[in-house]
Amino acid sequence: MRGRYGRLWRRGVSLLAAAAGVCALIAGCGQTEEAEETMSEVIPVQVQQPEAGSLTLKNEFVGTVSPQESVYVIPMVSAEVLSTNVSVGDEVKAGDVLCQLDDEAARLQLASAQVQYESAEAGVNSAQVGYEMAQAQYDSTEAQLDAQMGGQKNLQMYQLQMNVDTLENAVDDINEQKAALAEQKEAAEKQMDGMEAQMEAYRNAEKEYQLYLQIVTMLEAGTSAQQEEAKTMLQAATGESSFSSTDDATKAAKGQLDIAKVRLEQYEPIASAYSQASAGVGTIESSEAQLDSSLETTKKQLEQAEAVMNITGEQVYQDTQKVIDANKKSAALGVDSAAAGVNSAKAGVEGAQVAVESAEYQLDMYTLKAPIDGVIEAVNLNEHDFATPSAPAYVISNKDTMTVTFYVSEGIRNTLTTGQKAGVDRNGKLYDAVITEIGSMIDQNTGLFAVKASVSGADESLLTGCSVKITVDTYSQDNALLIPYDAVYYDDSQSYVYVAVGDTVERRDIETGIFDEQTITVLSGLTAEDRLITSWSANLREGAQISVQQTQDTAADAE
Residues of the chain with pLDDT under 70: 1-40, 148-153, 313-321, 550-559
Residue 306 has a pLDDT of: 85
What SS3 class is residue 194?
A: helix
Q: Encode pLDDT of 448-466 as tens digits.
A: 999 999 997 777 778 888 9
If asked whether residues 316 and 341 sit together in one domain, one would say yes
495 within 8 A of 488, measured Cβ to Cβ = yes
251 within some domain: no
Residue 530 has a pLDDT of: 93
Looking at 476, 494, 518, the residue that finishes a domain is 476
212 within some domain: no
487 within 8 A of 534, measured Cβ to Cβ = yes
Give the closest residue to 433 by CA, choosing from 475, 466, 405, 399: 405
Q: Which DSSP symbol is given to 359?
A: H
- CATH code of residue 551: 2.40.420.20
262 within some domain: no
44 within 8 A of 549, measured Cβ to Cβ = yes
- CATH code of residue 337: 1.10.287
* Element at 425 (helix H, strand E): strand 421-426
If asked whether residues 308 and 190 sit together in one domain, one would say yes
Q: Which amino acid is at 216?
A: V
236 within some domain: no
Distance CA 345, CA 339 (A): 10
If asked whether residues 180 and 285 sit together in one domain, one would say yes
71 within some domain: yes
If asked whether residues 472 and 515 sit together in one domain, one would say no
Give the closest residue to 177 by CA, choosing from 306, 93, 19, 287: 287
If asked whether residues 468 and 507 sit together in one domain, one would say no
If asked whether residues 154 and 292 sit together in one domain, one would say yes
Range of the domain at 121: 103-201+268-365
Q: Encode 515-543: b = buried (16+ Cβ within 10 Å), e = exposed.
A: beebbbbbeeebeeebbbbbbbbeebeee
253 within some domain: no
Give the closest residue to 437 by CA, choosing from 417, 458, 412: 417
Looking at 312, 343, 365, the residue that finishes a domain is 365
Q: What angle do CA 471, 475, 478 make, to 5 degrees?
A: 125
What SS3 class is residue 267?
A: helix
If asked whether residues 425 and 297 sit together in one domain, one would say no
If asked whether residues 349 and 289 sit together in one domain, one would say yes
Q: What angle do CA 237, 239, 244 make, to 5 degrees?
A: 100
214 within some domain: no
Q: Which amino acid is at 129?
A: V
If asked whether residues 522 and 466 sit together in one domain, one would say no
Q: How many CB atoms lie within 10 A of CB 364?
A: 13
If asked whether residues 280 and 426 sit together in one domain, one would say no
Distance CA 237, CA 231 (A): 10
Which region holds residue 150: left if phi is over 0, alpha if psi is between -120 and 50, else beta? left
356 within 8 A of 113, measured Cβ to Cβ = yes
* Element at 115 (helix H, strand E): helix 104-149
Residues with Cβ within 8 Å of residue 366, at least 6 apart in sequence: 77, 79, 100, 101, 102, 103, 106
If asked whether residues 388 and 435 sit together in one domain, one would say yes
Give the Å distances, CA to CA, from 503 to 19, 198, 461: 28, 83, 61
500 within some domain: yes
Looking at 454, 476, 498, the residue that finishes a domain is 476
If asked whether residues 286 and 141 sit together in one domain, one would say yes
Give the Å distances, CA to CA, from 538 to 33, 44, 502: 18, 12, 20
Residue 315 has a pLDDT of: 64
Distance CA 134, CA 136 (A): 5
Residues with Cβ within 8 Å of residue 183, at least 6 apart in sequence: none
3-state secondary structure 270-314: HHHHHHHHHHHHHHHHHHHHHHHHHHHHHHHHHHHHHHHHHHHHH
pTM for the model stands at: 0.43
- CATH code of residue 469: 2.40.30.170
Domains: count for the chain = 3
Give the closest residue to 533 by CA, choosing from 551, 515, 512, 557: 551
